Amino acid sequence: MASGRIIFLNGTSSSGKSSVARELLDILEDGVFFHMAVDGFNAMRSKRQLGAEELDAALRRTRMGFHRSIAAMAEVGNDIVVDHVLSEPWRLLDCLTVLPPEDVVFVGVHCPLDELARRELARGDRPPGLAAHQYDLVHRHGDYDLECDTGTASPRECAEQIKEFLPWRPSPTAFTRLRRRHLAGQGSAEKVGLLT
């Protein structure tokens, strides 16, 4: 059984990843795609109030489980559109460890900071300044297969750009290059300190 393709959208909160993902599901016609969003996994958690340390541990486990769920879905042949915020270095390293790098098309979703602030305010469901806090963190690794800007293009236009790119994706992929750069000679995730 062939593994599924993974279109991995990374950007700040309110950058338009979910909107691009929905458009991709609407226009991709050469497979059955599933949208897997980190926000969806966070929403599954019980609503009981947690202390800061307990919440941090729960969120870390949630994200680790999210990464492994993507891998499991793809392993059995499902095509996935991932919607994630790689605002902590360990998140990317964990994804590099558990996802098959040649099956991942890594897409940077950009948006100007003033537009992010406007969207965040309009949404009203995010802490003020969250996108600004993530702005310099999420793209710090500096390597993508493709990048789009939702400040200058609509979600549909970004989705069309990604669709047109898919047949021409590079080899090695950005995930392969990043994996060589960050995990070469390290072995398991435990050895690079991802899980501690």
List C-alpha distances in Å: 132 to 9, 105, 149: 18, 25, 16
Distance between CA 95 and CA 62 in Å, rounded? 13
- Is there a catalytic annotation at residue 39? yes
- As given in the structure block, the two tokens for residue 132 are 């600004």
Query: In this structure, are strands 146-149 and 33-37 parallel, antiparallel, or unpaired?
Result: unpaired
User: Residue 76: which residues within 8 A CB-CB, separation 6 or more?
Assistant: 1, 4
What is the helix, strand, coil percentage profile of the chain, to 5? 50, 15, 35
Q: Hey, is 40 helix, strand or coil?
A: helix
Catalytic residue among 26, 30, 39, 143: 39
- φ/ψ of 130, rounded to 5, equals -60, -50
List residues with catalytic annotation.
Answer: 39
